[in-house]
């Protein structure tokens, strides 16, 4: 693994990208501001758990397309299924047979779900669930968990975050929030907005596990208040359990939303749920108004559904989930042991389930530090590992895990020195920034990508 990486082509592409694309990328989590200056700007190709940037540098990758690639890049059974579907076309005037077959395949895995509609991204699925709940209940308010970072690009959620420019104030007032593992906050929310909340949406878990039967208590309150209980399984689905986190925790929501790993990187997501609610988007009911539910030109492209079927069958037939947990726990131990060796185990710690591992980067006062996070990323990148998280895939073998732990150990040695003599002596250029900030930081002191590339 080289410590002497060059990013010349990336720097040139970054200049062009920012001229043509707001933010320089089509996903804010992939933006330049989320990484140190010494980082690959563009990925050329990937195979398994490894990727190569446009300058030819090789990395063991984690996060895997923001958790969308659970089996590994270019996973052969999925690619073969996509190729087979594409040779006969991908989009027609009437539905394709694979739409029924894929629905049956997914619903076989999701306990309690009776109907499903496919779409392209998580925002479509969660917003479809919200619209359905509002139509069913005749109410306007939506409740979402304030401790879960992202539910949709649509106004009903974006209005709750600092980057809410462009969302009307009237729309912002239609979403209320509660705290995770704080049932009192949920109860208070329902008391404050009696008879007004159409839907409550949350992830089953993030870094923290549900405590004191929290999920079931929330569901009980939803039932008592006539509110639909929605689980966002974009991340937990196909990681916590092949049947989703709902299977892991033994709870059946009214509606649930799947995406990301559903197609191993191909664009497909799903809104699944009980027939009582989903039928309102159909053609057969006459007792309620129709719901215009997820009508998308590309939502059921045959190659994407072929990818979803191949992916779900792999999860069904192979020990994917077990592998994710095993490799993640090995990483947890490796990071923890390395941090303890460098006497910073209280500052850099693995967090979350082994199947979906992240890490903390604190300063000497125990406060989150973007500077130290950037330095940690910079130093692992120099050692051939691209790890905004430690989210593994089915392709992360023992060798990859071992090399990653070695890279982490080397990076933490630099981290420890930076605590003594200052981050600025080790970090090249500006630190990364949080996505949810109301204004951009003035660029006066920032080192540009082009300057950094020459180092």
Does residue 277 sit in the same domain as residue 374? no
What pLDDT does 52 receive?
Answer: 98
Does residue 242 sit in the same domain as residue 358? no
Residue-wise over 101-120: b if at least 16 C-beta within 10 A, else e? ebbebbbebbebbebbbbbb
Look at residue 291 and tell me if it is in a domain: yes
What pLDDT does 159 receive?
Answer: 94
Does residue 211 sit in the same domain as residue 276? yes
Our count of domains for the chain comes to 2
CA 6 to chain centre: 29
Low-confidence stretches of the chain (pLDDT < 70) are 1-4, 443-455
Does residue 55 sit in the same domain as residue 139? no
What pLDDT does 437 receive?
Answer: 86
Q: Residue 142 belongs to a domain with what CATH number? A: 3.40.640.10
Residue-wise over 36-62: b if at least 16 C-beta within 10 A, else e? bbbbbbbbeebebbbbbbbbebebbbb
Does residue 367 sit in the same domain as residue 329? yes
Does residue 338 sit in the same domain as residue 207? no
Question: Do residues 163 and 438 lie in contact, with contact meaning Cβ atoms separated by under 8 Å?
Answer: yes
Does residue 202 sit in the same domain as residue 235? yes
What pLDDT does 126 receive?
Answer: 97
Look at residue 3 and tell me if it is in a domain: no
What pLDDT does 130 receive?
Answer: 98
Q: Which domain holds residue 262?
A: 76-317
Does residue 13 sit in the same domain as residue 90? no
Last residue of some domain: 282, 317, 352? 317
CA 336 to chain centre: 24
Look at residue 2 and tell me if it is in a domain: no
What pLDDT does 434 receive?
Answer: 86
Does residue 141 sit in the same domain as residue 239? yes
What pLDDT does 452 receive?
Answer: 34
Rg (CA), the chain: 23
Look at residue 87 and tell me if it is in a domain: yes
What pLDDT does 436 receive?
Answer: 78
Last residue of some domain: 287, 317, 347? 317
Does residue 45 sit in the same domain as residue 121? no
């Amino acid at each position: 693994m080289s410590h002497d990486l060059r990013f010349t082509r990336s720097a040139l592409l970054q200049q062009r990208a920012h001229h043509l694309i707001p933010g320089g990328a089509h996903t804010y989590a992939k933006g330049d501001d989320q990484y140190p200056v010494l980082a690959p700007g563009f990925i050329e190709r990937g195979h398994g758990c490894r990727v190569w940037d446009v300058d030819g540098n090789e990395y063991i990758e984690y996060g895997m397309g923001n958790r969308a690639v659970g089996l590994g890049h270019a996973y052969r059974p999925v690619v073969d299924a996509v190729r087979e579907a594409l040779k006969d076309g991908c989009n027609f005037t009437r539905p394709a047979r694979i739409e029924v077959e894929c629905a049956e395949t997914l619903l076989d895995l999701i306990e309690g779900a009776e109907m499903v509609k496919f779409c392209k991204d998580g925002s479509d699925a969660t917003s479809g669930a919200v619209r359905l709940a509002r139509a069913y209940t005749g109410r306007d308010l939506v409740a979402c968990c304030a401790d879960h970072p992202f539910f949709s690009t649509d106004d009903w959620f974006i209005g709750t975050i600092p980057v809410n420019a462009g969302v009307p104030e009237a729309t912002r007032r239609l979403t209320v929030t509660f705290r995770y593992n704080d049932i009192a906050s949920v109860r208070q929310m329902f008391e404050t907005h009696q008879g007004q909340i159409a839907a409550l949406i949350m992830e089953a878990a993030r870094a923290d596990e549900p405590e004191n039967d929290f999920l079931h208590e929330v569901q009980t309150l939803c039932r008592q208040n006539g509110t639909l209980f929605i689980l966002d399984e974009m991340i937990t689905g196909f990681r916590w359990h092949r049947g989703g986190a709902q299977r892991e925790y033994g709870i059946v929501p009214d509606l649930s939303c799947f995406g990301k790993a559903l197609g191993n990187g191909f664009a497909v997501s799903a809104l699944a749920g009980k027939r009582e609610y989903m039928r309102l988007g159909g053609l057969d009911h006459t007792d309620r108004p129709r719901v215009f539910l997820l009508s998308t030109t590309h939502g059921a492209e045959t190659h994407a559904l072929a990818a979803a079927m191949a992916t779900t069958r792999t999860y069904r037939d192979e020990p994917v989930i077990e592998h994710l947990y095993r490799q993640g726990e090995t990483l947890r131990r490796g990071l923890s042991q390395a941090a303890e060796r460098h006497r910073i185990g209280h500052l850099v710690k693995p967090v979350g389930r082994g199947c979906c591992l992240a890490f903390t980067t604190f300063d000497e006062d125990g406060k989150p530090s973007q500077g130290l996070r950037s330095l940690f990323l910079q130093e692992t990148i120099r050692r051939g590992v691209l790890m905004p998280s430690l989210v593994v895939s089915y392709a992360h073998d023992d060798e990859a895990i071992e090399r990653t732990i070695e890279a982490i150990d080397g990076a933490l040695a630099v981290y420890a020195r930076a605590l003594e003599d200052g981050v600025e002596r080790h970090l090249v250029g500006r630190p990364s920034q949080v996505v949810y900030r109301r204004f951009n930081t003035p660029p006066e002191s920032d080192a540009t990508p082009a300057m950094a590339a020459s180092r």
